[in-house]
Amino acid sequence: EVREMLENVKIGKKLIGGFLIVVIISVIISATGFFYISNLDEKSAEMYDTRLIPIQEIGLINGGFLQFRGDAYKAILVPDLREASLQSADAALKRVDENAALLDQVHMTPDERKVFDTFKTAYASYKGEAGKTIDAIKKNDIETAVASLAADTDLAKYRSQCDTALTSLTQTNMKIAEEIKKNNDDNANLAKTTLIIVSLAGAIIGLGFAILLTRSITRPLDQTVEMIDEINKGHLGHRLDLNRKD
């Protein structure tokens, strides 16, 4: 039926049709690739924006806590550098404020938001105790300042609460980032398989149509050549019987 249909189509239209089929197959393959690439790009952006950036900010917050503690001890132990150390300690807490504000803007799940709210509450109390430590150092009340930095103080307690919340957020982000990576790997493998299948199907369809198109064009030519050969042999009664519209 397909062959008979092609025999009734003009040669120009056959060629145009063949070209259109090639274009359609190319568009299907391109659209399939674009769909999967766009999906992978979206997931990668999600992993970076909502998972890797929070981990980065959490690391900077922890770094700020460590710097504050180091600067506080330095201010106590090295009086000549006390003013500079206290300025550095104050700057460290300000950076924690900035990183916490950036972290607050990141999309979080409801559970993550509850944990982060716990951190903000603990950090507000930590800052209050840190301020008391700085004031004691400025007043040269070294005994009180050293005592405030001990392991069993309110400052240490609130720092521990902050650490617990940040550790929980880090673990959650790492887990979700790993899930997104796994999904991306699965999608990439699916994309490869789909593209191979679509490409093979397109090649088979294109090849099949090319064969039919070629035969529909060359068959009458072969018959014509055969008839001419018969006439040259003296078979003048030979006739070309073609019931075609092309």
Q: What is the pLDDT of residues 192-225, one digit of tens each?
A: 888 888 888 888 887 887 777 777 777 766 667 7
**Long-range contacts made by residues 116-124, C-beta under 8 angstroms, separation at least 24?**
116/165, 116/169, 118/161, 118/165, 119/161, 119/162, 119/165, 119/166, 119/169, 122/158, 122/161, 122/162, 122/165, 123/96, 123/158, 123/162
Percentage of the chain with pLDDT > 90?
42
Whether 94 and 71 have beta carbons less than 8 Å apart is answered as: no
Side-chain half-sphere exposure of 63, counting CA atoms within 13 A: 10
Residue 85 has pLDDT above 70, yes or no: yes
User: Is the pTM for the entire model greater than 0.85?
Assistant: no
DSSP character at residue 8:
T
- pLDDT tens by residue, 125-174: 999 999 999 999 999 999 999 999 998 899 999 999 999 999 999 998 88
Residue 106 has pLDDT above 70, yes or no: yes
Q: Is 140 buried (19+), middle (13-18) or exposed (0-12) by CB count in 10 A?
A: exposed
